[in-house]
Structure 1
């Protein structure tokens, strides 16, 4: 079973498990159309956010493929929830995982996503011993693509019109990093 020792602290952030007290903050993120458009879904209502939060609270360890570790990101100075990280175990045999990163737009451009995602990659490679970690993003999500590239992840694919969302074909970008690349960065 793979599970971090919480809280995980960076220079400005605390990474911790989600709690029921996170509902309002998570809803303020998940209900935004400007966030949902890059996640391939509609903005969530409060009841849907509560259901998702219950799942996130349960996602505390990686044991079998398909398990996901859900991590809340809060500012050290204010204890405000500003982001939502996921590290999923995609294969035990291939020792691989996948990351997902969502931050509230009012906190974009401050380096928080890079700081938190670097720590997520460190957990995956150094603490959990993963060999390979991938990340996906909407082809129009320049911020997510820049984040992954800035962390040293390599673009492996540009899947043209790979997903139909609300009647519109979307491109998908696929990034990856190997443990040896993480060590060299």
Structure 2
């Protein structure tokens, strides 16, 4: 099992565990239909946010398939949560790690998502020994596609009409990067 030093900072952001005090900030974006449309689920109710927050605050190990690390993202010096980033252990044996992010649209256009995603990309490769980092996203989510490209990920797949959500077929991109590519990019 891996133990991480949390919280950690980037130039402008603090990434930390969620606390019960984050409920209003979490619900402010998780309850929005414009956010949920790319997550293949309906917006979260306040009650579901309470349950989600309890699980996030407790944290999980990083040892078995399905374990995840979820970090609240706050501007340095502020207690306000503007979004979250997550790493999910898709295959412990193969070192396959899924990356994701969800941000409050009120804080869009400031580069927070890219900065936070870059930080956990480094965490995945440098500390968690990931072999391959990948992201799955709705093809209509152009903002997330740009973040993947800024991280140096390549588009590996375009899955056509592979998800059915509220009667609408959705298509998905898969972006990925290998540890050796990440290391070469940093050199």
TM-score range, shorter chain: over 0.9
1:11-160 equivalent positions in 2, closer than 5 A? 11-160=11-160
Superposed displacement of residue 62, structure 1: 0.7
Q: Could you tell me how far apart the structure 2 residues matched to 1:25 and 1:127 are?
A: 29
| 1:29 counterpart SS class | helix
**CA RMSD across the alignment:** 1.0
| 1:23 counterpart SS class | helix
Could you tell me which runs of 5 or more consecutive residues in structure 1 were left unpaired when the two chains were aligned.
Answer: none
**Count of aligned positions:** 185
Whether the 8 Å contact between 1:162 and 1:171 is mirrored in structure 2 is: yes
Superposed displacement of residue 57, structure 1: 1.7
Q: Which residue matches 2:177?
A: 177
Superposed displacement of residue 59, structure 1: 2.6
Superposed displacement of residue 70, structure 1: 1.0
Could you tell me which runs of 5 or more consecutive residues in structure 2 were left unpaired when the two chains were aligned.
Answer: none
Length-normalised TM-score, structure 1 = 0.96
Superposed displacement of residue 84, structure 1: 1.0
| 2:4 counterpart SS class | coil
Q: Deviations over 1:75-117 (max 9, x none)?
A: 1032210111110111121111111111110111111111100
